[in-house]
Structure 1
Amino acid sequence: MTTPPTPPSAPYELAQVNIARLKFPLDSPELKPFVDGLDPVNAVADQADGFVWRLQTDAGDATELRIFGDEWLMVNMSVWRDPNALTAFMYQGRHRELLGRRYEFFARVEEAMTALWWIPAGHRPTVEEAETRLLDLRANGPAPTAFTLRTSFPPPASA
């Protein structure tokens, strides 16, 4: 289900989190192609139409951040205007190339590792908030509180 684009002045933005279980240590030769691709992919994301924000440390990346207290889980979190903007970025260029190689770098898992949810414009989600949304999606399936691109929900109605 495709959600119509949200106007730039919309009261809601789309938060997304995806996590991945590393197969190797981040500084290993096996992960070098992935690590080398992070800055170029992030630079493209930062300029992408509909991009709003991404989780990063003061050093400008998120590779040191962890989720669920697990040293082998990497977290990527960003905010977008709407699902169409996120999808347009995901499936083009260098991001698409790295996405195609994800099983070289990350373990296959059965549980949901990606969640989307609507946030008030200007809100920046925390890792703890992302954990809650992932657990909600895993426990309850797609719902307005946590969903996927495949089964998405529109933003809440404006008051």
Structure 2
Amino acid sequence: MTDFNIAELNVARLKHDINDPRISDFVRNLNRINFAAERSEGFVWRLKDEAGTSVAMSAENDPMVIPNLSVWTDVKSLENFVFKTVHKRFYERRAEWFSVMEKMHFVMWFVPTGHRPSLEEAWDRLNHLNTHGASDHAFGWEHIEDASLWRTARCTSSAA
């Protein structure tokens, strides 16, 4: 699939307001994690505003739900970033900052090389996954045979 990249949307529901000191460690490290992503092998693009994050782009009109939308050359590159870089240390602390979500909150799909998905497109893919289950249209880690790192680091207390 050299003519395609992989897009991903991951959303999280904050336990506290973005300015609350209880999540300050997460907020302080957002740029660090985003810069690490941008320097990672296989990184293509990520949704961001003038501040360099997508936190202010509240998802589904809920300021407590924050999106992360990015494009990677392939699933392996995304998986390596998520589970083999500094990102993993913050991923392991997610319960400190985020509530357990009732539905799937992570989705991947193939996009033509050069395509930059909108947040609306990404939400449509996530909704499709939650409504119809995994398919080539919208899927999670389990849909990719070669992906394995997620098996030992996945969320066990949320819809996975």
TM-score, scaled to structure 2: 0.87
Provide the alpha-carbon RMSD of the alignment. 1.4
Unmatched tracts of structure 2, length 5 or more: 147-160
Matched, 1:16 2:4: no
Aligned mates of 1:35, 1:59 — CA distance in 2: 12
SS in 2 for 1:91: helix
Identity %: 34
Identify which of structures 1 and 2 has the higher relative contact order when contacts are C-alpha pairs closer than 8 Å and 6+ apart: 1
What one-letter code is carried by the residue in structure 1 that aligns with 2:39? Q
- In the alignment, which residue of structure 2 is the partner of 1:91? 83
Task: Give the corresponding residue for 1:125.
Answer: 117
Matched, 1:35 2:27: yes
Residue 102 (structure 1) aligned with residue 94 (structure 2): yes
Partners of 1:142 and 1:152 within 8 A in 2: no
Q: Compute the TM-score of the two structures, normalised by the length of structure 1.
A: 0.88
Q: 1:40, 1:34 → 2: CA distance?
A: 10
Unaligned stretches of 5+ residues in structure 1: 1-5, 155-159
Letter in 1 for 2:107: A
Q: Number of residue pairs matched? A: 146
- Name the aligned partner's letter for residue 13 of structure 2: R
Match of 2:132 in 1: 140
